[in-house]
Protein backbone atom coordinates (compact mmCIF):
# COMPACT_ATOMS: atom_id res chain seq x y z
CA UNK A 1 0.00 0.00 0.00
CA UNK A 2 1.18 3.51 -0.79
CA UNK A 3 2.68 5.36 2.18
CA UNK A 4 1.22 8.78 2.97
CA UNK A 5 3.63 11.71 3.10
CA UNK A 6 3.24 13.29 6.58
CA UNK A 7 3.19 16.77 4.97
CA UNK A 8 0.08 15.75 3.00
CA UNK A 9 -1.64 14.54 6.18
CA UNK A 10 -0.73 17.82 7.94
CA UNK A 11 -2.30 19.80 5.11
CA UNK A 12 -5.45 17.64 5.17
CA UNK A 13 -5.68 18.01 8.97
CA UNK A 14 -5.42 21.79 8.61
CA UNK A 15 -8.60 21.63 6.49
CA UNK A 16 -10.28 19.43 9.15
CA UNK A 17 -9.45 21.96 11.88
CA UNK A 18 -9.94 25.11 9.76
CA UNK A 19 -12.95 27.28 9.02
CA UNK A 20 -14.34 25.03 6.27
CA UNK A 21 -17.91 23.79 5.71
CA UNK A 22 -18.91 20.55 7.43
CA UNK A 23 -19.51 18.68 4.15
CA UNK A 24 -15.99 19.53 2.90
CA UNK A 25 -14.47 18.28 6.20
CA UNK A 26 -16.52 15.11 5.83
CA UNK A 27 -15.12 14.50 2.32
CA UNK A 28 -11.53 15.02 3.54
CA UNK A 29 -12.09 12.74 6.56
CA UNK A 30 -13.50 10.04 4.26
CA UNK A 31 -10.33 10.12 2.10
CA UNK A 32 -8.25 9.60 5.27
CA UNK A 33 -10.53 6.89 6.70
CA UNK A 34 -10.67 5.01 3.38
CA UNK A 35 -6.86 5.24 3.11
CA UNK A 36 -7.39 6.74 -0.36
CA UNK A 37 -3.83 8.03 -0.24
CA UNK A 38 -3.40 8.57 -3.98
CA UNK A 39 -6.49 10.78 -4.12
CA UNK A 40 -5.52 12.50 -0.86
CA UNK A 41 -2.01 13.21 -2.20
CA UNK A 42 -3.32 14.55 -5.52
CA UNK A 43 -5.83 16.72 -3.62
CA UNK A 44 -3.26 18.30 -1.30
CA UNK A 45 0.29 17.93 -2.67
CA UNK A 46 0.25 21.46 -4.12
CA UNK A 47 -1.92 24.52 -4.56
CA UNK A 48 -3.73 24.97 -7.88
CA UNK A 49 -1.68 27.20 -10.16
CA UNK A 50 -2.48 29.54 -13.03
CA UNK A 51 -1.51 27.95 -16.37
CA UNK A 52 -1.99 29.21 -19.94
CA UNK A 53 -5.76 29.09 -19.28
CA UNK A 54 -5.87 30.30 -15.67
CA UNK A 55 -7.00 28.07 -12.81
CA UNK A 56 -8.30 24.63 -13.80
CA UNK A 57 -8.65 21.31 -12.05
CA UNK A 58 -10.83 18.48 -10.82
CA UNK A 59 -13.69 19.48 -8.55
CA UNK A 60 -13.46 18.24 -4.96
CA UNK A 61 -11.99 19.05 -1.56
CA UNK A 62 -8.33 20.07 -1.19
CA UNK A 63 -5.83 22.75 -2.13
CA UNK A 64 -5.23 21.19 -5.57
CA UNK A 65 -8.93 20.98 -6.42
CA UNK A 66 -11.59 23.39 -7.64
CA UNK A 67 -13.93 24.19 -4.75
CA UNK A 68 -15.43 27.10 -2.82
CA UNK A 69 -12.15 27.74 -0.99
CA UNK A 70 -9.65 27.61 -3.86
CA UNK A 71 -12.02 29.80 -5.92
CA UNK A 72 -12.49 32.08 -2.89
CA UNK A 73 -8.72 32.39 -2.33
CA UNK A 74 -8.10 33.07 -6.03
CA UNK A 75 -10.76 35.80 -5.97
CA UNK A 76 -9.46 37.32 -2.74
CA UNK A 77 -5.95 37.36 -4.20
CA UNK A 78 -7.25 38.95 -7.41
CA UNK A 79 -9.21 41.51 -5.35
CA UNK A 80 -6.06 42.37 -3.36
CA UNK A 81 -4.10 42.73 -6.61
CA UNK A 82 -6.75 45.05 -8.11
CA UNK A 83 -6.89 47.25 -5.01
CA UNK A 84 -3.10 47.61 -4.99
CA UNK A 85 -2.96 48.25 -8.75
CA UNK A 86 -5.79 50.81 -8.84
CA UNK A 87 -5.63 52.59 -5.46
CA UNK A 88 -8.42 55.06 -4.81
CA UNK A 89 -10.35 54.07 -7.96
CA UNK A 90 -13.82 52.56 -8.16
CA UNK A 91 -13.00 49.06 -9.37
CA UNK A 92 -15.50 47.16 -11.52
CA UNK A 93 -15.36 43.52 -12.62
CA UNK A 94 -17.56 41.29 -14.81
CA UNK A 95 -18.39 37.65 -14.02
CA UNK A 96 -19.88 34.93 -16.24
CA UNK A 97 -20.14 31.15 -16.11
CA UNK A 98 -20.70 28.19 -18.43
CA UNK A 99 -22.98 25.14 -18.18
CA UNK A 100 -20.68 22.96 -16.08
CA UNK A 101 -21.82 21.44 -12.80
CA UNK A 102 -21.24 24.01 -10.01
CA UNK A 103 -20.23 26.80 -12.43
CA UNK A 104 -23.20 28.93 -11.35
CA UNK A 105 -22.44 28.31 -7.64
CA UNK A 106 -18.74 29.10 -8.08
CA UNK A 107 -19.63 32.26 -10.05
CA UNK A 108 -21.84 33.30 -7.13
CA UNK A 109 -18.98 32.73 -4.67
CA UNK A 110 -16.68 34.81 -6.90
CA UNK A 111 -19.26 37.62 -6.84
CA UNK A 112 -19.59 37.28 -3.04
CA UNK A 113 -15.86 37.77 -2.50
CA UNK A 114 -15.45 40.70 -4.91
CA UNK A 115 -18.51 42.48 -3.50
CA UNK A 116 -17.31 41.91 0.08
CA UNK A 117 -14.05 43.62 -0.94
CA UNK A 118 -16.03 46.66 -2.11
CA UNK A 119 -15.48 45.85 -5.79
CA UNK A 120 -18.47 46.48 -8.08
CA UNK A 121 -19.64 43.36 -9.93
CA UNK A 122 -21.47 43.08 -13.26
CA UNK A 123 -22.92 39.59 -12.98
CA UNK A 124 -24.35 37.77 -16.00
CA UNK A 125 -27.65 36.47 -14.67
CA UNK A 126 -27.47 33.28 -16.75
CA UNK A 127 -24.80 31.25 -18.55
CA UNK A 128 -22.90 33.07 -21.31
CA UNK A 129 -19.93 32.36 -23.63
CA UNK A 130 -16.37 33.26 -22.58
CA UNK A 131 -15.87 35.75 -25.47
CA UNK A 132 -18.91 37.74 -24.33
CA UNK A 133 -17.30 38.06 -20.89
CA UNK A 134 -14.16 39.47 -22.58
CA UNK A 135 -16.38 41.88 -24.53
CA UNK A 136 -18.21 42.95 -21.35
CA UNK A 137 -14.93 43.71 -19.53
CA UNK A 138 -13.94 46.08 -22.33
CA UNK A 139 -17.37 47.57 -22.94
CA UNK A 140 -18.21 48.22 -19.26
CA UNK A 141 -14.80 49.68 -18.39
CA UNK A 142 -13.93 46.92 -15.93
CA UNK A 143 -10.49 46.41 -14.43
CA UNK A 144 -10.92 42.65 -14.50
CA UNK A 145 -13.27 39.81 -15.35
CA UNK A 146 -13.72 36.19 -14.34
CA UNK A 147 -15.18 33.30 -16.33
CA UNK A 148 -16.08 30.12 -14.46
CA UNK A 149 -15.32 27.33 -16.92
CA UNK A 150 -12.98 24.45 -17.66
CA UNK A 151 -13.48 25.05 -21.37
CA UNK A 152 -13.53 21.65 -23.17
CA UNK A 153 -12.25 19.48 -20.28
CA UNK A 154 -14.20 16.39 -19.10
CA UNK A 155 -17.21 16.90 -16.80
CA UNK A 156 -15.23 16.31 -13.58
CA UNK A 157 -13.32 19.57 -14.15
CA UNK A 158 -14.05 23.20 -13.55
CA UNK A 159 -11.95 26.34 -13.63
CA UNK A 160 -11.50 30.06 -13.41
CA UNK A 161 -10.26 32.29 -16.21
CA UNK A 162 -9.09 35.71 -14.97
CA UNK A 163 -9.03 38.71 -17.31
CA UNK A 164 -7.30 42.09 -17.18
CA UNK A 165 -8.75 45.48 -18.12
CA UNK A 166 -8.06 44.97 -21.84
CA UNK A 167 -10.40 41.95 -21.84
CA UNK A 168 -7.48 39.54 -22.30
CA UNK A 169 -6.25 36.94 -19.84
CA UNK A 170 -3.49 38.15 -17.55
CA UNK A 171 0.04 38.00 -19.00
CA UNK A 172 3.44 38.76 -17.47
CA UNK A 173 4.14 40.51 -15.18
CA UNK A 174 0.49 40.82 -14.07
CA UNK A 175 -0.20 37.06 -13.98
CA UNK A 176 2.73 36.59 -11.60
CA UNK A 177 1.55 39.53 -9.48
CA UNK A 178 -1.94 37.96 -9.19
CA UNK A 179 -0.42 34.56 -8.34
CA UNK A 180 1.76 36.15 -5.67
CA UNK A 181 -1.30 37.76 -4.10
CA UNK A 182 -3.16 34.42 -4.16
CA UNK A 183 -0.14 32.61 -2.69
CA UNK A 184 0.10 35.24 0.07
CA UNK A 185 -3.27 34.13 1.43
CA UNK A 186 -2.22 31.68 4.13
CA UNK A 187 -5.60 31.02 5.72
CA UNK A 188 -9.20 30.63 4.60
CA UNK A 189 -10.05 33.22 7.27
CA UNK A 190 -8.47 35.90 5.06
CA UNK A 191 -11.14 35.36 2.38
CA UNK A 192 -14.16 37.66 2.65
CA UNK A 193 -17.15 35.50 1.71
CA UNK A 194 -19.99 37.79 2.88
CA UNK A 195 -21.81 39.19 -0.15
CA UNK A 196 -22.59 42.90 -0.36
CA UNK A 197 -25.71 43.09 -2.56
CA UNK A 198 -25.21 46.82 -3.15
CA UNK A 199 -22.06 46.00 -5.17
CA UNK A 200 -23.75 43.56 -7.58
CA UNK A 201 -25.60 44.44 -10.80
CA UNK A 202 -27.17 41.78 -13.02
CA UNK A 203 -26.60 42.00 -16.79
CA UNK A 204 -27.73 39.95 -19.78
CA UNK A 205 -29.67 40.61 -22.99
CA UNK A 206 -28.55 44.23 -23.40
CA UNK A 207 -24.89 43.11 -23.56
CA UNK A 208 -25.86 40.26 -25.93
CA UNK A 209 -27.30 42.68 -28.45
CA UNK A 210 -24.37 45.12 -28.32
CA UNK A 211 -21.95 42.24 -28.82
CA UNK A 212 -23.95 40.72 -31.70
CA UNK A 213 -24.24 44.09 -33.45
CA UNK A 214 -20.46 44.60 -33.24
CA UNK A 215 -19.88 41.10 -34.68
CA UNK A 216 -22.35 41.66 -37.53
CA UNK A 217 -20.62 44.93 -38.46
CA UNK A 218 -17.44 42.90 -39.20
CA UNK A 219 -19.06 40.92 -42.05
CA UNK A 220 -17.05 41.21 -45.28
CA UNK A 221 -19.36 39.45 -47.77
CA UNK A 222 -22.99 40.32 -46.90
CA UNK A 223 -24.01 40.13 -50.60
CA UNK A 224 -22.81 36.54 -50.87
CA UNK A 225 -24.79 35.66 -47.71
CA UNK A 226 -27.88 37.31 -49.18
CA UNK A 227 -27.62 35.09 -52.24
CA UNK A 228 -26.80 31.99 -50.16
CA UNK A 229 -29.12 32.66 -47.21
CA UNK A 230 -30.52 29.11 -47.53
CA UNK A 231 -27.10 27.54 -46.90
CA UNK A 232 -27.89 24.43 -44.85
CA UNK A 233 -26.14 24.60 -41.48
CA UNK A 234 -26.25 22.11 -38.59
CA UNK A 235 -25.11 23.58 -35.29
CA UNK A 236 -24.48 21.87 -31.93
CA UNK A 237 -23.66 23.72 -28.70
CA UNK A 238 -22.54 20.38 -27.10
CA UNK A 239 -24.73 21.14 -24.05
CA UNK A 240 -22.91 24.43 -23.49
CA UNK A 241 -23.24 28.22 -23.67
CA UNK A 242 -23.08 28.51 -27.47
CA UNK A 243 -26.86 28.02 -27.66
CA UNK A 244 -27.33 31.49 -26.14
CA UNK A 245 -25.60 33.38 -28.97
CA UNK A 246 -24.42 31.32 -31.96
CA UNK A 247 -27.91 30.80 -33.52
CA UNK A 248 -28.64 34.54 -33.00
CA UNK A 249 -25.31 35.52 -34.61
CA UNK A 250 -26.00 33.31 -37.64
CA UNK A 251 -29.50 34.76 -37.95
CA UNK A 252 -28.21 38.32 -37.69
CA UNK A 253 -25.61 37.60 -40.40
CA UNK A 254 -28.53 36.57 -42.64
CA UNK A 255 -28.56 32.75 -42.52
CA UNK A 256 -32.12 31.41 -42.57
CA UNK A 257 -31.61 27.65 -42.70
CA UNK A 258 -29.88 26.75 -39.41
CA UNK A 259 -30.73 23.47 -37.66
CA UNK A 260 -29.78 23.50 -33.98
CA UNK A 261 -29.16 19.88 -32.93
CA UNK A 262 -31.92 19.23 -30.43
CA UNK A 263 -30.25 16.35 -28.58
CA UNK A 264 -27.28 18.60 -27.64
CA UNK A 265 -29.08 21.95 -27.33
CA UNK A 266 -29.92 21.87 -23.60
CA UNK A 267 -27.12 23.13 -21.32
CA UNK A 268 -26.03 20.22 -19.11
CA UNK A 269 -22.81 19.89 -17.09
CA UNK A 270 -22.91 16.09 -17.38
CA UNK A 271 -22.59 16.36 -21.19
CA UNK A 272 -24.76 13.24 -21.56
CA UNK A 273 -24.41 12.64 -25.32
CA UNK A 274 -20.60 12.92 -25.61
CA UNK A 275 -17.55 11.33 -24.02
CA UNK A 276 -15.76 14.71 -23.97
CA UNK A 277 -17.46 18.04 -24.77
CA UNK A 278 -14.53 18.92 -26.99
CA UNK A 279 -14.98 19.76 -30.69
CA UNK A 280 -11.38 18.59 -31.22
CA UNK A 281 -12.65 15.04 -30.59
CA UNK A 282 -14.24 13.40 -33.65
CA UNK A 283 -16.80 11.64 -31.46
CA UNK A 284 -18.19 14.97 -30.17
CA UNK A 285 -19.41 15.84 -33.69
CA UNK A 286 -20.85 12.42 -34.55
CA UNK A 287 -24.51 13.29 -33.87
CA UNK A 288 -24.26 16.61 -35.71
CA UNK A 289 -22.63 14.88 -38.70
CA UNK A 290 -25.40 12.27 -38.76
CA UNK A 291 -27.96 15.07 -38.85
CA UNK A 292 -26.01 16.76 -41.67
CA UNK A 293 -26.13 13.57 -43.75
CA UNK A 294 -29.86 13.25 -43.07
CA UNK A 295 -30.69 16.79 -44.30
CA UNK A 296 -27.81 17.12 -46.81
CA UNK A 297 -26.26 20.09 -44.99
CA UNK A 298 -23.40 22.18 -46.40
CA UNK A 299 -21.78 22.86 -43.02
CA UNK A 300 -21.61 21.35 -39.53
CA UNK A 301 -20.40 23.35 -36.53
CA UNK A 302 -20.07 22.48 -32.83
CA UNK A 303 -18.86 24.70 -30.01
CA UNK A 304 -17.36 23.68 -26.65
CA UNK A 305 -19.10 24.39 -23.29
CA UNK A 306 -17.87 27.98 -22.94
CA UNK A 307 -18.11 28.67 -26.70
CA UNK A 308 -14.58 29.81 -27.33
CA UNK A 309 -13.71 26.88 -29.64
CA UNK A 310 -15.53 25.59 -32.69
CA UNK A 311 -15.12 22.39 -34.69
CA UNK A 312 -16.48 21.96 -38.21
CA UNK A 313 -17.31 19.35 -40.84
CA UNK A 314 -17.97 19.91 -44.55
CA UNK A 315 -18.76 17.88 -47.66
CA UNK A 316 -15.65 16.70 -49.52
CA UNK A 317 -15.19 16.09 -53.24
CA UNK A 318 -16.93 12.70 -52.90
CA UNK A 319 -19.97 14.20 -51.13
CA UNK A 320 -18.93 12.69 -47.77
CA UNK A 321 -19.22 14.77 -44.59
CA UNK A 322 -15.65 15.08 -43.27
CA UNK A 323 -14.06 16.89 -40.33
CA UNK A 324 -11.56 19.69 -40.84
CA UNK A 325 -8.91 20.07 -38.16
CA UNK A 326 -8.00 23.28 -36.35
CA UNK A 327 -5.06 24.05 -38.61
CA UNK A 328 -7.19 23.66 -41.73
CA UNK A 329 -9.96 25.91 -40.39
CA UNK A 330 -7.47 28.56 -39.18
CA UNK A 331 -5.77 28.46 -42.58
CA UNK A 332 -9.02 28.79 -44.49
CA UNK A 333 -10.38 31.57 -42.27
CA UNK A 334 -7.21 33.62 -42.72
CA UNK A 335 -7.08 32.86 -46.45
CA UNK A 336 -10.76 33.84 -46.85
CA UNK A 337 -10.39 37.04 -44.80
CA UNK A 338 -7.29 38.18 -46.65
CA UNK A 339 -8.80 37.32 -50.05
CA UNK A 340 -12.11 39.08 -49.24
CA UNK A 341 -10.32 42.16 -47.86
CA UNK A 342 -8.14 42.22 -50.98
CA UNK A 343 -11.19 41.84 -53.25
CA UNK A 344 -12.92 44.76 -51.49
CA UNK A 345 -9.79 46.96 -51.61
CA UNK A 346 -9.75 47.26 -47.82
CA UNK A 347 -5.97 46.94 -47.32
CA UNK A 348 -4.13 50.04 -46.08
CA UNK A 349 -0.75 48.42 -45.37
CA UNK A 350 -1.32 48.42 -41.60
CA UNK A 351 -3.14 45.09 -41.32
CA UNK A 352 -1.78 42.08 -39.46
CA UNK A 353 -2.75 38.57 -38.35
CA UNK A 354 -1.54 36.47 -35.40
CA UNK A 355 -1.09 32.75 -34.82
CA UNK A 356 0.78 30.57 -32.34
CA UNK A 357 4.12 28.81 -32.87
CA UNK A 358 2.40 25.39 -33.02
CA UNK A 359 -0.18 26.45 -35.63
CA UNK A 360 0.29 25.70 -39.36
CA UNK A 361 3.07 27.67 -41.04
CA UNK A 362 0.94 27.62 -44.20
CA UNK A 363 -0.70 30.70 -42.64
CA UNK A 364 2.67 32.53 -42.63
CA UNK A 365 3.08 31.64 -46.32
CA UNK A 366 -0.40 32.97 -47.23
CA UNK A 367 0.13 36.20 -45.26
CA UNK A 368 3.49 36.78 -46.95
CA UNK A 369 1.89 36.30 -50.36
CA UNK A 370 -0.86 38.83 -49.50
CA UNK A 371 1.62 41.34 -48.07
CA UNK A 372 0.12 41.19 -44.57
CA UNK A 373 2.27 40.92 -41.43
CA UNK A 374 1.98 37.60 -39.57
CA UNK A 375 3.08 37.38 -35.94
CA UNK A 376 3.78 34.16 -34.05
CA UNK A 377 3.15 33.96 -30.30
CA UNK A 378 3.49 31.31 -27.63
CA UNK A 379 0.61 28.87 -27.17
CA UNK A 380 -2.30 30.39 -25.29
CA UNK A 381 -4.67 32.97 -26.72
CA UNK A 382 -3.67 35.44 -24.02
CA UNK A 383 -0.50 36.11 -26.01
CA UNK A 384 -2.52 36.92 -29.13
CA UNK A 385 -4.66 39.24 -27.01
CA UNK A 386 -1.55 40.88 -25.56
CA UNK A 387 -0.23 41.65 -29.04
CA UNK A 388 -3.61 43.07 -30.10
CA UNK A 389 -3.61 45.43 -27.13
CA UNK A 390 -0.03 46.47 -27.91
CA UNK A 391 -0.95 47.41 -31.51
CA UNK A 392 -4.35 48.96 -30.71
CA UNK A 393 -4.74 52.27 -32.54
CA UNK A 394 -1.59 51.65 -34.65
CA UNK A 395 -2.43 48.60 -36.76
CA UNK A 396 -5.57 46.73 -37.81
CA UNK A 397 -6.07 43.19 -36.53
CA UNK A 398 -7.86 41.16 -39.19
CA UNK A 399 -7.91 37.78 -37.51
CA UNK A 400 -5.92 35.12 -35.76
CA UNK A 401 -6.07 31.64 -34.38
CA UNK A 402 -4.52 28.53 -33.00
CA UNK A 403 -4.62 24.89 -34.02
CA UNK A 404 -6.73 23.94 -30.98
CA UNK A 405 -9.92 25.19 -32.69
CA UNK A 406 -9.74 28.73 -31.33
CA UNK A 407 -10.07 31.69 -33.72
CA UNK A 408 -10.84 35.40 -33.57
CA UNK A 409 -11.97 37.90 -36.19
CA UNK A 410 -11.93 41.64 -35.43
CA UNK A 411 -10.78 43.27 -32.23
CA UNK A 412 -13.92 43.56 -30.08
CA UNK A 413 -12.72 40.83 -27.69
CA UNK A 414 -9.32 39.60 -26.55
CA UNK A 415 -9.87 35.86 -26.50
CA UNK A 416 -10.74 33.11 -28.92
CA UNK A 417 -14.35 33.47 -29.93
CA UNK A 418 -16.52 30.66 -31.29
CA UNK A 419 -19.48 33.01 -31.78
CA UNK A 420 -17.78 35.33 -34.28
CA UNK A 421 -15.87 32.33 -35.72
CA UNK A 422 -19.08 30.35 -36.37
CA UNK A 423 -20.59 33.39 -38.13
CA UNK A 424 -17.48 33.82 -40.30
CA UNK A 425 -17.12 30.10 -41.07
CA UNK A 426 -20.70 30.24 -42.35
CA UNK A 427 -19.94 33.45 -44.29
CA UNK A 428 -16.82 31.88 -45.79
CA UNK A 429 -18.83 28.79 -46.85
CA UNK A 430 -21.44 31.07 -48.46
CA UNK A 431 -18.68 33.08 -50.18
CA UNK A 432 -17.21 29.97 -51.86
CA UNK A 433 -20.62 28.47 -52.67
CA UNK A 434 -21.53 31.78 -54.31
CA UNK A 435 -18.50 31.33 -56.58
CA UNK A 436 -19.63 27.82 -57.53
CA UNK A 437 -17.08 26.21 -55.21
CA UNK A 438 -17.15 24.76 -51.68
CA UNK A 439 -15.11 25.14 -48.52
CA UNK A 440 -13.43 21.79 -49.19
CA UNK A 441 -12.54 22.74 -52.77
CA UNK A 442 -11.20 26.08 -51.54
CA UNK A 443 -8.93 24.20 -49.12
CA UNK A 444 -7.57 22.03 -51.94
CA UNK A 445 -7.03 25.19 -54.04
CA UNK A 446 -5.04 26.69 -51.15
CA UNK A 447 -2.83 23.57 -51.08
CA UNK A 448 -2.36 23.73 -54.87
CA UNK A 449 -1.20 27.31 -54.66
CA UNK A 450 0.93 27.26 -51.50
CA UNK A 451 1.81 23.61 -50.81
CA UNK A 452 0.02 20.80 -49.00
CA UNK A 453 0.56 21.19 -45.25
CA UNK A 454 -0.65 18.41 -42.95
CA UNK A 455 -0.55 18.54 -39.17
CA UNK A 456 -1.27 16.17 -36.32
CA UNK A 457 -1.34 16.40 -32.55
CA UNK A 458 -0.66 13.60 -30.11
CA UNK A 459 -1.45 14.10 -26.42
CA UNK A 460 -0.09 11.79 -23.76
CA UNK A 461 -1.86 11.96 -20.39
CA UNK A 462 0.18 11.41 -17.23
CA UNK A 463 -1.86 12.11 -14.11
CA UNK A 464 -0.93 13.33 -10.65
CA UNK A 465 2.43 14.01 -9.04
CA UNK A 466 4.22 11.06 -10.68
CA UNK A 467 2.83 12.06 -14.08
CA UNK A 468 4.15 15.61 -13.71
CA UNK A 469 7.61 14.19 -12.90
CA UNK A 470 7.53 11.84 -15.93
CA UNK A 471 6.62 14.73 -18.26
CA UNK A 472 9.49 16.80 -16.84
CA UNK A 473 11.91 13.91 -17.44
CA UNK A 474 10.71 13.49 -21.05
CA UNK A 475 11.32 17.17 -21.81
CA UNK A 476 14.77 17.00 -20.22
CA UNK A 477 15.65 14.00 -22.38
CA UNK A 478 14.58 15.77 -25.62
CA UNK A 479 16.45 18.90 -24.54
CA UNK A 480 19.79 17.24 -23.81
CA UNK A 481 19.51 14.53 -26.45
CA UNK A 482 17.64 15.91 -29.50
CA UNK A 483 16.91 13.41 -32.30
CA UNK A 484 19.37 13.52 -35.23
CA UNK A 485 16.70 12.71 -37.84
CA UNK A 486 12.90 12.69 -37.95
CA UNK A 487 10.87 11.07 -40.72
CA UNK A 488 14.07 10.37 -42.65
CA UNK A 489 15.08 14.02 -42.72
CA UNK A 490 17.97 15.58 -40.79
CA UNK A 491 17.06 17.81 -37.82
CA UNK A 492 18.76 21.11 -38.67
CA UNK A 493 17.48 23.40 -35.92
CA UNK A 494 16.41 23.16 -32.30
CA UNK A 495 14.29 25.96 -30.84
CA UNK A 496 14.24 25.95 -27.05
CA UNK A 497 11.65 28.44 -25.82
CA UNK A 498 12.56 27.71 -22.18
CA UNK A 499 16.13 28.90 -22.79
CA UNK A 500 14.85 31.37 -25.45
CA UNK A 501 17.42 30.32 -28.00
CA UNK A 502 17.50 28.70 -31.43
CA UNK A 503 20.43 26.47 -32.29
CA UNK A 504 21.37 25.88 -35.93
CA UNK A 505 22.62 22.29 -35.63
CA UNK A 506 24.55 22.39 -38.93
CA UNK A 507 26.68 25.44 -38.07
CA UNK A 508 26.20 25.26 -34.28
CA UNK A 509 25.29 28.96 -34.16
CA UNK A 510 22.80 30.24 -31.60
CA UNK A 511 20.29 33.08 -32.06
CA UNK A 512 17.95 34.45 -29.38
CA UNK A 513 14.17 33.89 -29.48
CA UNK A 514 12.28 37.09 -28.76
CA UNK A 515 9.32 35.57 -26.89
CA UNK A 516 8.63 35.01 -23.17
CA UNK A 517 10.13 31.91 -21.57
CA UNK A 518 8.02 28.77 -22.07
CA UNK A 519 8.65 25.04 -21.74
CA UNK A 520 8.44 24.25 -25.47
CA UNK A 521 10.92 22.50 -27.76
CA UNK A 522 10.76 22.67 -31.56
CA UNK A 523 12.68 20.51 -34.01
CA UNK A 524 12.99 21.74 -37.61
CA UNK A 525 14.04 19.27 -40.29
CA UNK A 526 15.80 19.78 -43.61
CA UNK A 527 12.61 19.09 -45.58
CA UNK A 528 10.56 21.72 -43.69
CA UNK A 529 8.83 19.54 -41.08
CA UNK A 530 8.31 21.21 -37.70
CA UNK A 531 7.79 19.13 -34.56
CA UNK A 532 6.97 20.72 -31.21
CA UNK A 533 6.91 19.15 -27.73
CA UNK A 534 4.99 21.03 -25.02
CA UNK A 535 3.64 20.11 -21.59
CA UNK A 536 0.08 21.46 -21.21
CA UNK A 537 -0.43 24.35 -18.83
CA UNK A 538 -3.98 23.31 -17.93
CA UNK A 539 -4.10 19.49 -18.12
CA UNK A 540 -1.87 16.57 -17.02
CA UNK A 541 -0.61 16.08 -20.58
CA UNK A 542 2.43 16.43 -22.81
CA UNK A 543 1.53 17.40 -26.36
CA UNK A 544 3.41 16.72 -29.59
CA UNK A 545 2.54 18.89 -32.59
CA UNK A 546 3.83 17.77 -35.96
CA UNK A 547 3.64 19.55 -39.31
CA UNK A 548 4.83 18.19 -42.66
CA UNK A 549 4.38 19.59 -46.16
CA UNK A 550 4.93 18.83 -49.81
CA UNK A 551 3.88 20.11 -53.24
CA UNK A 552 0.38 19.17 -54.42
CA UNK A 553 0.68 18.35 -58.13
CA UNK A 554 -3.05 18.51 -58.96
CA UNK A 555 -6.53 18.38 -57.41
CA UNK A 556 -6.76 14.74 -58.46
CA UNK A 557 -3.61 13.95 -56.47
CA UNK A 558 -5.12 15.27 -53.20
CA UNK A 559 -6.08 11.95 -51.57
CA UNK A 560 -2.89 10.14 -52.59
CA UNK A 561 -0.71 13.04 -51.37
CA UNK A 562 -2.64 13.17 -48.09
CA UNK A 563 -1.93 9.45 -47.56
CA UNK A 564 1.79 10.04 -48.08
CA UNK A 565 1.82 12.94 -45.61
CA UNK A 566 -0.11 10.87 -43.04
CA UNK A 567 2.49 8.10 -43.35
CA UNK A 568 5.25 10.64 -42.81
CA UNK A 569 3.53 12.01 -39.71
CA UNK A 570 3.26 8.47 -38.34
CA UNK A 571 6.97 7.82 -38.97
CA UNK A 572 8.00 11.05 -37.21
CA UNK A 573 5.93 10.19 -34.15
CA UNK A 574 7.51 6.70 -34.06
CA UNK A 575 10.96 8.31 -34.30
CA UNK A 576 10.07 10.45 -31.28
CA UNK A 577 8.96 7.35 -29.39
CA UNK A 578 5.33 8.51 -28.98
Q: Give the helix, strand, coil percentages of the chain, each rounded to 5.
A: 40, 20, 35
Angle at 360 between CA 354 and CA 366, to 5 degrees: 65
Other Cβ atoms less than 10 A from the Cβ of 454: the count is: 22
- Candidate list 43, 63, 134, 151, residue with the active-site label: 151
E-assigned strand segments in 199-282: 200-203, 233-236, 258-260
What's the rounded Cα separation, in Å, for the pair 167 and 136? Answer: 8
Pairing of strands 485-486, 489-496: antiparallel
What is the three-class DSSP state of 395?
coil
Burial class (CB in 10 A: 0-12, 13-18, 19+), 40: buried
Burial class (CB in 10 A: 0-12, 13-18, 19+), 88: exposed
- 200 DSSP β-pair partners: 121
Q: Which residues contact 466 (CB under 8 A, 6 or more apart)?
A: none
Check if the beta carbon of residue 489 is closer than 8 Å to that of residue 531: no
Burial class (CB in 10 A: 0-12, 13-18, 19+), 262: exposed
What's the rounded Cα separation, in Å, for the pair 441 and 495? Answer: 35
Other Cβ atoms less than 10 A from the Cβ of 295: the count is: 11
Locate all alpha helices (DSSP H) within 352-417, ordered by sequence.
Answer: 362-370, 381-391
Helices 130-139 and 205-216 sit at what angle, rounded to 10 degrees? Answer: 90
| DSSP string covering 134-198 | HHHHHHTT-SEEEEE--TTS-TTEEEEEEE-TTSSBP-TTHHHHHHHHHHT--SGGGS-----GG
Check if the beta carbon of residue 341 is closer than 8 Å to that of residue 183: no
Give catalytic status of residue 151 as yes or no: yes
Name the residues annotated as catalytic: 151
Amino acid sequence: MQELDPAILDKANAWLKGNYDADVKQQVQKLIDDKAYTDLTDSFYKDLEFGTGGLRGLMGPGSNRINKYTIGAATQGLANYLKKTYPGEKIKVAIAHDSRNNSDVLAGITADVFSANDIYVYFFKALRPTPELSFAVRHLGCKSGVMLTASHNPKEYNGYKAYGEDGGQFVAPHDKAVMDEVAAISSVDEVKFTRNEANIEFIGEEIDQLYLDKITALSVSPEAIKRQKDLKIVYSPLHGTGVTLVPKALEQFGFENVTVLESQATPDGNFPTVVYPNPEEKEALNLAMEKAKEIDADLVMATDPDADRVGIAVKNDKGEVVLLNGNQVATQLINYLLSAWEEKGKFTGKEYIVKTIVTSYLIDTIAKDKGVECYNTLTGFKYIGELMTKFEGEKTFIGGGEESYGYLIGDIVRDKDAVVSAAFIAEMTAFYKDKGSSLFEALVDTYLKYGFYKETLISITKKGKTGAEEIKAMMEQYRTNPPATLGGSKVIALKDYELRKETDLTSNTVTPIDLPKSDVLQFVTEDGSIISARPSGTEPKIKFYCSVNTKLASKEAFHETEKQLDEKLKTIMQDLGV
